[in-house]
Chain A
Amino acid sequence: MTAVLAAPPSSPHRKRGKRRWIGFALALTVLVVMFALSVAIGSRTIALSTVWQVLWHPDSTPESVIVHDLRLPRTLLGFGVGAALGLAGTVMQALTRNPLAEPGLLGVNLGASTAVVIAIAFLGVTTATGYVWFAFAGAALTSAAVFALGGAGRHPTPERQILAGVSITAVLGAIVWAVLVLRREAFDRYRHWDVGSFSDRDSGTVLRILPFLAAGILLALVLGRQLNALSLGDESATSLGAHPVRIRALGLLAVTLLCGAATAAAGPIWFLGLAVPYAARMIVGTDHRWILAFAVVLGPALLLGADVLGRVLVAPAELPVGVVTAFLGAPLFIALCRRRRLSSL
């Protein structure tokens, strides 16, 4: 990550470079605040001073147990999943050159989740470690299928890709329902996982998906320069010495790792991958090295914010984070579709 940041801004405009650094500092600040809020706020009210104290000096009081065993793991999970989905959305948008591309809308998250459902219902898999592998297989298959059907690289319109994704989502949804109707005991486990939630994940979840997350994040960040080349079009990219096919393959691998790990840990979460790159582009323009760096910061900030919101809005109950992101993200999607000129459809 430091290597990416240390690269000199390619834009000759000083002003833009300055704006990027200020923006990055602001985004980091927001992330830190969200992180703190996520640790400090919950269904059980604990005074801020107590939180601060037990954070550094863990003891056996209930407050300390809550902070260390419930809130910290949950916050770390949100951090990882948010970074993963933000990056996955960015990479997908760059690969498809489609500002509406998003792992949720294109069905990749649901692909991962379908594979997990099949694993729960028929293969008796019950642990998050087991989920991960099936989630990877599902995510890989679906992203390959969406790219094939949506026609990556030829002359696909963004909207057709979305439609291909939605069709695949419909098919996968049908499969999931068919499985769940036949296997009722799997249904109960699934409905809590499906909604996209951090609440009942145990503290080991983060650790188990950590290697995959780290690999995916690293791969995505390294790809920045290549994605810039790809954004010029295949011919120009080739003449610049880049290999479009190799970039696509690596990008696909990154998306699979990120979406698979995130979905296995938290269930399918929609629209984060749409909102994060959009916000990042508004601040930094079109340089993918910067967009990716911002995605790592903005993704967790947004997801943790949504999670805190879900805990506060209907306290003492809580809204699953997937529901909150859908409620925040769907209007953004609608607004983006309304604004786009139809000539580009």
Chain B
Amino acid sequence: MTVLRAAGWSVRVHTRALIVGVVLLLVALAVALVNLTTGDFPIPVADVLRSLAGRGDAGTDFIVYELRLPRVLVTLLVGAALGASGAVFQSLTRNPLGSPDFVGLTTGAATGALIVLLIADGSGAQVGAGAIVGCVVTAVAVYLLAFRRGVQPFRLILMGIGVSALLEALNSYLIYRARLNEAIAAQVWLIGSVNGRGWTEVVIVAVAVVVLVPVVVYFGRDLKMLALGDEMAVLHGVRVERTRAVLALAAVGLSAGATAAAGPIAFVALAAPPLAARLSRSPSAGILPAAAMGAALLCAGDWAAQNALPGNDIPVGVVTAALGGVYLTWLLFRERGARR
């Protein structure tokens, strides 16, 4: 733990967390670079770098800027947004399972997107807007349902489960009544994918990350106090309900932006924060290390998705879901052991 002071400002830095965060960020960027070089038409690393520096030839420029860079940027930013939002939610609910996947946010976003896709025949940015609206509406509904003289974290998760069951029924009905082609498109959207993402999606998720991550990091300083319990936090001068509301809203926004750009990618928000916390040997995940972890995980997952089955570009959501399933089972087994 080091304290940096400059011109009246002081910042406490968890040294190991800082190192872990930087290393993870470098890993994420390295994998992203590898993703830029691989594809149907392999490009040497040197050419990619030259192209990124603005001195490549026209053919390479086209492949890098139009085909691969948007996808890689979406992957990085979505991973970061999911990691950060997962870290905030897990701290707020004080539960490793309290990620956006479980409190119904991703299902809500999916419902919004499906309504746009299947009923309004929208596409691209409209689907994104639908997802964001769906996510925010669901979040507010879950919060209001769980509110009863303050919000108890566990009740929030249960309400999320109830609401997402309701929305899942709606989703499967929407898919049921659609024509087969549309239904398959919707299903692919539902599993979360970065295939064929363009600059529109980059802008959506970049705005979310650039605006909301600083907010989350600024208010996230109080998360450690909140973890001690509401009374202790009040005693230490934290405005509990306001901090909680701001953090929750910002995390919802991050999750919504990520879902709008890439669909509901499972388990990254669940797994990234605890993994980052484990690496940095701190009890709770820092938000920035978690974001870096999310970006690294999703990039690696996308690399695996492109290369797992030759000639078959499977959605990255399949890969994260498979890995996340293993992680989740392990988590439950460990929890069970801890409770004995």
Residues of A within 8 A of B (CB): 104-105, 149, 151, 154-155, 159, 162-164, 166-167, 170-171, 173-175, 177-178, 180-182, 184, 187-188, 191-192, 194-195, 197, 270-271, 317, 319-320, 322-323, 326-327, 329-331, 333-334, 337-338, 342, 345
Q: CB-CB < 8 A to B329: which residues of A? A: 149, 167, 171
Given A182-B314, A195-B176: A159 and B163 interface contact (C-beta under 8 Å): no
Cα-based distance from A337 to B101 in the complex (angstroms): 19
What is the CB-to-nearest-CB distance from A243 to chain B, in angstroms, rounded to a whole number? 24
Please state if B173 and A191 are interface contacts (CB–CB under 8 Å). Answer: no
Partner of A170, one of B163, B173, B266: B266
Partner of B155, one of A149, A195, A342: A342
- B275 near A: Cβ within 8 Å? no
Given A105-B161, A191-B175, A194-B172: A342 and B314 interface contact (C-beta under 8 Å): no
Q: CB-CB < 8 A to B148: which residues of A? A: 338
- B102 near A: Cβ within 8 Å? yes
What is the CB-to-nearest-CB distance from B93 to chain A, in angstroms, rounded to a whole number? 11
What is the CB-to-nearest-CB distance from A103 to chain B, in angstroms, rounded to a whole number? 13
Please state if A163 and B157 are interface contacts (CB–CB under 8 Å). Answer: yes
What would 15 more interface pairs be, CB under 8 Å, given A182-B314, A197-B176?
A149-B329, A151-B336, A163-B97, A167-B328, A175-B321, A177-B318, A178-B322, A181-B191, A188-B180, A191-B172, A191-B183, A191-B187, A195-B175, A270-B165, A320-B176
Q: Chain B binding site: helix, strand, loop or mixed by DSSP?
A: helix
Task: Tally inter-chain residue pairs, CB-CB below 8 A.
Answer: 134
- B293 near A: Cβ within 8 Å? no
- B158 near A: Cβ within 8 Å? yes
Please state if A327 and B318 are interface contacts (CB–CB under 8 Å). Answer: no
Closest B residue to A194 by CB, please name it. B172
Q: CB-CB < 8 A to A188: which residues of B? A: 180, 183
Cα-based distance from A32 to B305 in the complex (angstroms): 54
Query: Hey, what's the 0/1 contact readout for B285-322 against A, CB within 8 Å counting as 1?
Result: 00000000000000000000000000000110110011
Cα-based distance from A333 to B159 in the complex (angstroms): 8
- B168 near A: Cβ within 8 Å? yes
- B162 near A: Cβ within 8 Å? yes
Partner of B159, one of A149, A175, A334: A334
Please state if A170 and B328 are interface contacts (CB–CB under 8 Å). Answer: yes
Q: CB-CB < 8 A to A327: which residues of B? A: 166, 169
Q: Chain A binding site: helix, strand, loop or mixed by DSSP?
A: helix
Query: Hey, what's the 0/1 contact readout for B253-274 against A, CB within 8 Å counting as 1?
Result: 0000000000000110000000
Closest A residue to B101 by CB, please name it. A170
Please state if A159 and B158 are interface contacts (CB–CB under 8 Å). Answer: yes
Please state if B336 and A323 are interface contacts (CB–CB under 8 Å). Answer: no
What is the CB-to-nearest-CB distance from B182 to chain A, in angstroms, rounded to a whole number? 11
Given A171-B325, A177-B191, A187-B184: A337 and B158 interface contact (C-beta under 8 Å): yes
Given A330-B163, A338-B155, A342-B152: A177 and B169 interface contact (C-beta under 8 Å): no
- B333 near A: Cβ within 8 Å? yes
Q: CB-CB < 8 A to B266: which residues of A? A: 170, 174
Chain A to chain B: the 10 pairs with minimum beta-carbon distance, closest first: A174-B321, A326-B169, A171-B325, A330-B166, A334-B162, A337-B158, A178-B318, A333-B162, A323-B173, A149-B332
Can you list 30 A-B contacts (CB < 8 A)? Answer: A162-B161, A166-B102, A167-B97, A167-B331, A171-B321, A171-B328, A171-B329, A174-B267, A175-B321, A175-B325, A177-B190, A177-B321, A181-B187, A181-B314, A187-B184, A188-B180, A191-B175, A191-B176, A192-B176, A195-B173, A320-B173, A322-B169, A323-B173, A330-B166, A331-B166, A333-B161, A334-B145, A337-B162, A338-B148, A338-B155
Q: CB-CB < 8 A to B19: which residues of A? A: none
Cα-based distance from A271 to B162 in the complex (angstroms): 10
Please state if B165 and A330 are interface contacts (CB–CB under 8 Å). Answer: yes
Residues of B within 8 A of A (CB): 97, 101-102, 145, 148, 152, 154-155, 157-159, 161-163, 165-166, 168-170, 172-173, 175-177, 180, 183-184, 187-188, 190-191, 266-267, 314-315, 317-318, 321-322, 324-325, 328-329, 331-333, 336, 339-340
Cα-based distance from A309 to B187 in the complex (angstroms): 27
What is the CB-to-nearest-CB distance from A338 to chain B, in angstroms, rounded to a whole number? 7
Closest B residue to A179 by CB, please name it. B318
Cα-based distance from A171 to B321 in the complex (angstroms): 7
Partner of A181, one of B165, B318, B324: B318
What is the CB-to-nearest-CB distance from B89 to chain A, in angstroms, rounded to a whole number? 15
Q: CB-CB < 8 A to A181: which residues of B? A: 187-188, 191, 314-315, 318
What is the CB-to-nearest-CB distance from B211 to chain A, in angstroms, rounded to a whole number? 30
Q: CB-CB < 8 A to A319: which residues of B? A: 173
Cα-based distance from A301 to B300 in the complex (angstroms): 51
Q: CB-CB < 8 A to A197: which residues of B? A: 176
Closest B residue to A267 by CB, please name it. B172
Q: CB-CB < 8 A to B187: which residues of A? A: 177, 180-181, 187, 191
Closest A residue to B173 by CB, please name it. A323
Cα-based distance from A320 to B169 in the complex (angstroms): 10
Closest A residue to B146 by CB, please name it. A338
What is the CB-to-nearest-CB distance from A294 to chain B, in angstroms, rounded to a whole number? 24
Closest B residue to A155 by CB, please name it. B339
Q: CB-CB < 8 A to A333: which residues of B? A: 161-162, 165
Closest A residue to B318 by CB, please name it. A178
Please state if A164 and B163 are interface contacts (CB–CB under 8 Å). Answer: no
Please state if A323 and B170 are interface contacts (CB–CB under 8 Å). Answer: yes
Q: CB-CB < 8 A to A192: which residues of B? A: 176
Cα-based distance from A322 to B321 in the complex (angstroms): 25
Cα-based distance from A171 to B333 in the complex (angstroms): 14
Q: CB-CB < 8 A to B188: which residues of A? A: 181
Cα-based distance from A56 to B340 in the complex (angstroms): 62
Cα-based distance from A155 to B188 in the complex (angstroms): 41
Chain B CB within 10 A, most for which of A162, A163, A173, A188: A163
What is the CB-to-nearest-CB distance from B183 to chain A, in angstroms, rounded to a whole number? 6
Closest B residue to A334 by CB, please name it. B162
Q: CB-CB < 8 A to A191: which residues of B? A: 172, 175-176, 183, 187
Q: CB-CB < 8 A to A270: which residues of B? A: 165, 169
Q: CB-CB < 8 A to A173: which residues of B? A: 321
Closest A residue to B188 by CB, please name it. A181
